[in-house]
Amino acid sequence: LPFVFVGDGPVSFVTEAVVQGDILLRCRHLTRSGQRVSMFRCAFHTGYVPPKVLRLTKAQLDGACGDKRFSDDFFLDLIFEPCDE
């Protein structure tokens, strides 16, 4: 993945992963020296995901909720599609 800067605006990560059940999503920053720094995380169960998009606000993201580096209107959209598996 390329390095992304604040001024780049919205960022998308396409995973096309099949998920089911309890999910833990963790986002980490990789420094130029290779160190991993946790940015935020969230957990949810796919049985409770609304159709198509699950929007999580700053207040709903562990690690981001009290971090002033995240703007108050920060959010994460998780986009889901049905699958045949």
Give 39-75 pLDDT, tens digit per residue. Answer: 999 999 999 999 899 999 999 999 999 999 899 999 9
Give 36's contacts (C-beta < 8 A, 6+ positions apart). Answer: 28, 29, 30
Q: What percent of the chain has pLDDT over 90?
A: 65
pLDDT value for 85: 64
70/62 Cα distance (integer angstroms) = 12
pTM equals: 0.82
Residue entry with tokens 């992963």: 17
Give 13-40 pLDDT, tens digit per residue. Answer: 888 889 999 999 999 988 889 899 999 9
